[in-house]
Chains A and B, each alone.
Chain A
């Protein structure tokens, strides 16, 4: 029953987010601040992880191709497919659930504990719109982050492939261009946008409706990370089934 109650409250929060919008001039500044905190602030860790995980995918693929009949350019092909279809949109989103999600939950949760949300409500501000809506809009730039993750993942794979001596640069480039299906990019970015909405709203829900003190803020961050990850994995399955099969 508690799960149903939470799911209901979550959707009510989404509806409330669009009611009585905050003044445009104020909202513009809030969105810019969220872009800086959530998107630009995540680029470093995303770039680092993407580059090295791209390299690991290449090494694992190359080491598992033992038959001399399989052409070497398939290393590049497999890296591209893994990075574009799953690693960049899904794996990075789960990492972002930890990085961005816990930041959102703890910042909104602390505002709840210190009565800052009550202060907004008493002033007549729609606190859900004020706090959650700019995060959702800022996360519309999340596909930009994922594009960088895709690019650096493939570059990392190329570096590992060439400098590790698994194949030549020409083979790798041939592989990443082989049988390219543009719809795979569309699929990846549709997933990314759905995950962006999830990353902005589920942690906000856990922060906004938390009760208690500082200890509960920490607990809410953990719960938010778990639920955001679970929802991302489930949505990934559903969207893959719907879009690719």
Chain B
């Protein structure tokens, strides 16, 4: 579980996060949603320790992030899997080497053991025949799946995804969403997804945190989001006519 309390982050005089408090539970897909510029990415980077926050606290199970030394932070990070918006695969390595990378860095497994594990997770993301391809030879959807495979290969306790569906067609986006949800249940991990894809919200939003201008404006689930009377959430989530109609049908039924 990750507990966030009164999180503030400023860049110079600009206050980007203004006292966010929330928690992310194990075995659930937690979504952070909000408009561009609402502070989602900064919030995620604070959770990952890539940005130092100005005030507040982040507690990973029993470890307060700010109390940890640099080495302890690095040890904690080795339990974190991250799927970046642009996949962030290492260009100079094959897909198999990319997936094996965390194992090479943090385990003492033999090469064959690492290959077996890499092939297992690649099979899990339906990429069993792409081991020897370079990332530049893979499509956007394949790169995202490789990034997911790399994130889960070392059995992480926490999985973070920054807009995992951006740039993907709707069908592939659903495949990625379902894959993340299945993995969350299968490995019982804390998954936090940064998204502004409304399909993801409706499909896998077991907990949704809505950010507006750096503040938590609403918190709920994919079911309660239909019934919310929060104006900010409604105008964001139901901004398209299609979703307005879906909501009307849901409320009528």
Q: Which residues of A contact B (CB under 8 A)?
A: 19-20, 22-23, 25-26, 110, 114-116, 118-119, 121-126
Q: Is the CB of B86 within 8 A of A123?
A: no
Q: Which of B77, B84, B86, B104 contacts A23 (CB 8 A)?
A: B104
In the assembly, what is the distance between CA of A125 and CA of B105, in Å? 8
Please, which residues of chain B bring their CB within 8 A of the CB of A121? 50, 77
- Pick from B71, B80, B89, B90: contact of A122, CB under 8 Å: B80
Q: Which of B70, B90, B104 contacts A116 (CB 8 A)?
A: B90
B88:A124 contact, CB within 8 angstroms: no
Identify 4 new A-B residue pairs, CB closer than 8 A, beyond the known A22-B105, A26-B105, A122-B77.
A25-B104, A115-B86, A122-B80, A123-B82
What is the minimal beta-carbon distance from B155 to any residue of chain A, in angstroms?
13
Can you list, as one digit per residue, whether each of B86-103 has a CB less than 8 Å from chain A (1) or not (0)?
101111000000000110
Q: Is the pair B85, A115 in contact by a Cβ cutoff of 8 Å?
A: yes
| B contact residues around A118 at 8 Å (CB) | 50, 84, 88
Q: Which of A20, A22, A115 contacts B84 (CB 8 A)?
A: A115
A25 to B74, CA, bound (A): 19
Q: What are 11 pairs between A and B in contact, CB < 8 Å?
A: A20-B70, A22-B105, A25-B104, A26-B104, A115-B86, A115-B88, A119-B84, A121-B77, A122-B48, A122-B50, A126-B74
Interface check B127, CB cutoff 8 A: no
- B114-158 interface (Cβ within 8 A of A): none
Asked if B174 CB lies within 8 Å of chain A CBs, one says: no
A124 touches B82 (CB 8 A): no
Contact A124 B84 (CB under 8 A): no
Question: Is B202 located at the chain interface by the 8 A CB criterion?
Answer: no
Bound CA span A30–B179, Å: 33
How many residue pairs bridge A and B at CB < 8 Å?
57
B11 on the interface (CB 8 Å rule)?
A: no
Binding site for A on B (CB under 8 A): 48, 50, 70-71, 73-78, 80, 82, 84-86, 88-91, 101-102, 104-106, 160
Q: In chain A, what residue has the closest Cβ to B77?
A: A124
Are the C-beta atoms of B104 and A124 separated by less than 8 Å?
Answer: no
Nearest-neighbour CB distance to chain B for A58, whole angstroms, equals 42
Q: How far is the CB of A84 from chain B (nearest CB, A)?
A: 37
- Does the CB pair B86–A114 fall under 8 Å? yes
Contact between chains at B74 and A124 (CB < 8 Å): yes
Residue from the list A23, A114, A119, A124 in contact with B75, Cβ < 8 A: A124
Residue of A nearest to B80 (CB): A122
C-alpha spacing A115/B135, complex, angstroms: 14
Q: Are B105 and A23 in contact (CB under 8 A)?
A: yes
The reply to whether A116 and B88 contact each other, CB–CB distance below 8 Å, is yes
Q: Which residue of B lies closest to A122 (CB)?
A: B82
Q: How far is B91's CA from A124's CA once the two chains are assembled, in angstroms?
A: 19
- In the docked arrangement, what's the CA distance between A106 and B168, Å? 28
Q: Which residues of A contact B74 (CB under 8 A)?
A: 20, 124-126
- Roughly how many angstroms separate A19 CA and B71 CA in the complex, as a whole number? 9
Q: Identify the interface centre among A110, A121, A122: most chain B CB within 10 Å of its CB.
A: A122
**CB-based contact B105/A123 at 8 Å:** yes
**What's the least CB distance linking B59 to chain A, in Å?**
18
- Shortest C-beta distance, B89 to chain A (Å), equals 8
Nearest to A110 among chain B residues (CB) is: B91
Q: How far is the CA of A121 from the CA of B70 in the complex (A)?
A: 11
Q: Which of A20, A25, A115 has the most CB of B within 10 A?
A: A115
A119 to B101, CA, bound (A): 11
With A and B bound together, what is the CA distance between A23 and B74 in angstroms? 14
Contact call A123/B102, Cβ cutoff below 8 A: yes
Bound Cα distance A22, B89 (Å): 19
Enumerate chain B residues within 8 angstroms of A22, measured Cβ to Cβ. Answer: 105
A116 to B98 CA separation, bound complex (whole angstroms): 11
Could you say which of B50, B76, B85, B86 contacts A124, with CB atoms under 8 Å apart?
B76
- Docked Cα-Cα span, A121 to B82, in Å, equals 10
Asked if A119 and B104 make an inter-chain contact with CB atoms under 8 angstroms apart, the answer reads: no
Q: Which residues of A contact B50 (CB under 8 A)?
A: 118, 121-122
User: Which residues of chain B come closer than 8 Å to A25, judged between CB atoms?
Assistant: 104
In the complex, the answer to whether A123 meets B77 with C-beta atoms within 8 Å is: yes
